[in-house]
């Protein structure tokens, strides 16, 4: 079922949708009797690509997902028993015979170490199996140790492949459900993460590592020019919205 869901999400990616529409328009246009239909599909593709590639749309979607965690820095002052860092991806580079963390995961580790250095914690949990040859949690733990987290404090959870499994596996690691758990992940992903971890633990705090939303700044004309960075942010936001809907349909959220 999870494999079907993964493929389904791929079908809903903005770039894939625009590609399909352009492909359909091409075949329609080669049929002389349906040139108007082809032109309409091409126009729809252009409008859709424009909409998902401009700053106002991308930024609004990110704000929608992250608004509850903006100006929430006071959470850093709280003591935490367990800091759990949720993996955001890893990748293999065969030529180097090694597995590397994606930028999103690396930023989460850096923030988690910052929180640990400020407030301490009994345990520092790296969570996520990943898709690389070396398990993602192990690569995360290696980076955390290099950044100064004592090895004896680090716990590796390398079985989970998604958010609800992150929470379920942490539940297996700690019998005491009243311990304070600090979740380190990106702001866009935090609401779904909190819901899952609160199923098992009574004291869960969000420790936001990074934001995609940003206050309006810069040249106003550029904001309305299609940009690859904004297309990327829109894609991330839409996938998270789909994930939240999927979890609701599956009854995985409270």
3-state secondary structure of 184: strand
Q: What is the pLDDT of residue 49?
A: 87
Residue 30's φ and ψ, nearest 5 degrees, are -75, -10
Q: How far is the C-alpha of 165 from the C-alpha of 180, rounded, in Å?
A: 19
Inter-CA distances, 35 with 43, 45, 108, 114, 140, Å? 12, 15, 50, 59, 54
Domain boundaries, the chain: 75-208
3-state secondary structure of 159: coil
Q: What is the pLDDT of residue 253?
A: 43
Q: Are 181 and 197 in contact (CB under 8 A)?
A: yes
Q: Are 37 and 29 in contact (CB under 8 A)?
A: no
Token output for 49? 């690509």
Q: What is the pLDDT of residue 250?
A: 73
Tokens 């079907």 found at: 4
Q: Are 160 and 140 in contact (CB under 8 A)?
A: no
Q: Are 180 and 228 in contact (CB under 8 A)?
A: no
Q: pLDDT tens digit string along 210-250?
A: 999 998 766 677 788 888 889 999 999 999 999 999 888 87
Q: Which residues of the chain have pLDDT under 50?
A: 74, 252-254
3-state secondary structure of 217: coil
Residue 14's φ and ψ, nearest 5 degrees, are -55, -40
Domain 75-208 has CATH 3.40.50.2300: no
Q: What is the pLDDT of residue 76?
A: 53
Q: What's the pTM?
A: 0.84
3-state secondary structure of 118: helix
3-state secondary structure of 145: helix
3-state secondary structure of 108: helix
Pairing of the two strands 98-101 and 90-93: antiparallel
């Amino acid at each position: 079922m999870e494999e079907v869901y993964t493929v389904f999400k791929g079908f809903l990616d903005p770039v894939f949708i625009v590609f399909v529409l352009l492909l359909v328009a091409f075949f329609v246009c080669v049929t002389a009797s349906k040139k108007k239909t082809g032109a309409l599909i091409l126009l729809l593709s252009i409008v859709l690509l424009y909409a998902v590639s401009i700053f106002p749309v991308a930024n609004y979607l990110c704000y929608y997902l992250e608004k509850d965690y903006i100006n929430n820095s006071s959470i850093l002052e709280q003591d935490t028993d367990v800091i759990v860092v949720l993996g955001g991806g890893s990748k293999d580079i065969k030529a180097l015979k090694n597995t590397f963390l994606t930028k999103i995961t690396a930023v989460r580790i850096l923030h988690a170490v910052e929180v640990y250095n400020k407030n301490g914690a009994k345990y520092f949990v790296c969570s996520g199996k990943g898709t690389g040859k070396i398990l993602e949690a192990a690569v995360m733990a290696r980076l955390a140790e290099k950044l100064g987290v004592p090895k004896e404090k680090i716990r590796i959870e390398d079985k989970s492949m998604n958010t609800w499994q992150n929470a379920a596996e942490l539940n297996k690691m700690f019998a005491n459900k009243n311990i304070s758990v600090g979740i380190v992940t990106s702001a866009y992903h935090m609401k779904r993460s909190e819901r899952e971890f609160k199923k098992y633990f009574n004291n869960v705090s969000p420790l936001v590592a990074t934001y995609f939303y940003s206050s309006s700044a810069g040249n106003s004309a550029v904001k309305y020019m299609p940009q690859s960075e904004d297309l990327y942010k829109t894609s991330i936001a839409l996938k998270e919205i789909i994930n939240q809907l999927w979890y609701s349909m599956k009854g995985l959220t409270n």
